[in-house]
Amino acid sequence: MINLSTGAFFERATRQIGTLRERANRLQDQIGSGERLSRSSDDPVAAARLRTLARRERLAEVDQRNADRAMGDLQLTDKALESLAEITIRARELAMQAANETLGVEQRQMLRAEIDGLRESVLLVANSRNGAGQALFGGQAAGLAYEDTGAGITYVGTDTAESVGIGDGQSVTRSLTGPEVLTFDFEGTPTDVFAVLATLSAALQDPLADAASAGRLAMAQLDSGLDQVTTAQTIVGARMGWIEIIDERRLASGELVAEERSEIGGADLATTMTRLQEILTVLEASQASFVRLANLSLFNSLR
């Protein structure tokens, strides 16, 4: 009977000290991690809500990556459109020179050479690629947007560009297709910058052709082509602005999620440290009491 009481005393004391140590360790972990819950059983309702918030954060990260990708592609597209606008303006200047009735043969050939160079520059820009190696103006095609077949430059991309989700149920198209930029209607007939420059070049090469009339026609066509590029720049700018708006919403939502997560699962450091100090004090007192009681003569005599 005496042995049973002594064993119960040691068992009870050991269990009490172990429980205090476990609580102290848990509080120390909370202080180190800043999190109040170390396991779902600590607060099942709060833990479930924290899991929901964590899923929202992961989805927001995916949306952010998509938005960053789309913004990067649109910024590259915007720079490409700026280059196309500059090329078109220069081509119009050359067309204006070609409209001069007094051009000599040598001048015509010089104009033709530069126009052919501009046509090649348009092709290079039209086949610009993004960071993933995909043609900016090729829609969803894996290869080039335009190919020079020898008989002319033709579009080989898809009819539509890729759209990506950027959050809040919204999506944005990451670029434009080549025809949306370089193809336009002139007096009811569809044409593109490549054809305009090719026609002007051919007129300058042929001594019997009316280069002046070809130059005036090219000027009017390139005005329409420049309007098309300007419209494309407006569209791209609007898409970039939309991404920025969604990014701001996502940032605000993320701050609210972080605040809620902190309120639900975050440890109040001041309170937690106070509780830890209290438990450490009780633990120290319990250990000291156990040692004193274990060394009483009564216990010694009962061993």
Is the pLDDT higher at 135 or at 16?
135
67: nearest Cα among 242, 233, 237: 242
HSE of 186, CA atoms in CB hemisphere, 13 A? 19
In the prediction, which pLDDT does 52 show? 77
In the prediction, which pLDDT does 2 show? 45
Type of residue at 287 = Q
Secondary structure, 3-state, 140-169: CCCCCCEEECCCCEEECCCCCCCEEEEECC
The pair phi, psi for residue 101, each rounded to 5°, is -65, -20
The Cα–Cα gap between 301 and 102 comes to: 130
pLDDT tens per residue across span 31-53: 555 555 555 555 566 667 667 76
- The pair of structure tokens assigned to 246 is 């969604």
The Cα–Cα gap between 122 and 193 comes to: 8
The Cα–Cα gap between 35 and 21 comes to: 19
C-beta separation of 14 from 6 below 8 A? no
pLDDT tens per residue across span 140-173: 988 899 999 888 999 999 999 989 998 878 899 9
pLDDT tens per residue across span 221-266: 999 999 999 999 999 999 999 999 999 988 887 777 677 666 665 5
The Cα–Cα gap between 24 and 281 comes to: 10
Q: Show the DSSP H helices in the chain as ranges.
A: 2-33, 44-98, 105-126, 178-182, 193-205, 211-265, 269-294, 297-302
Cα torsion 132, 137, 138, 144: sign: negative
In the prediction, which pLDDT does 260 show? 64
Largest Cα–Cα separation, the chain: 131
- The pair of structure tokens assigned to 207 is 């001594």
